[in-house]
Amino acid sequence: MRFVTKTFEALTNRELYALLQLRSLVFVVEQQCPYQDMDEVDLLASHNLMVDENDRITGYTRCIPPGIKYDAAAAIGRVVTHPDIRRQGWGVPLMEYAMEQCRMAYPGYPVRISAQLYLLEFYERLGFVPQGVQYLEDDIPHIEMLLS
Q: Of the ranges 34-38, 43-47, 113-117, which one carries the lowest mean pLDDT score?
A: 34-38
Place 14 in a pLDDT band, splitting at 50, 70 and 90.
Answer: very high
Place 33 in a pLDDT band, splitting at 50, 70 and 90.
Answer: confident
Distance (Å) of CA 29 to CA 23, 26, 32, 78, 128: 9, 6, 5, 15, 28
Tell me the CATH number of domain 2-111, given options 3.30.2180.10, 3.40.630.30, 3.30.70.141, 3.30.70.260. Answer: 3.40.630.30
pLDDT of residue 34: 83
pLDDT of residue 137: 87
| 51 dihedral zone (left: phi>0; alpha: psi -120 to 50; beta) | beta
Please tell me whether residue 7 adopts helix, strand or coil conformation: strand
pLDDT of residue 60: 97
Indicate the average pLDDT of the chain.
Answer: 94
Task: Evaluate the CA torsion angle 92, 94, 95, 99 in order and state its sign.
Answer: positive
* CA 114 – CA 78 distance, rounded (Å): 9
Region 43-64: what's the mean pLDDT? 97
Q: What is the pLDDT of residues 92-142, one digit of tens each?
A: 999 999 999 999 999 999 999 999 999 999 999 999 999 999 999 888 899
Q: Which helix (H) or strand (E) holds 17?
A: helix 13-23
pLDDT of residue 74: 97
Place 42 in a pLDDT band, splitting at 50, 70 and 90.
Answer: very high
pLDDT of residue 123: 96
pLDDT of residue 30: 86
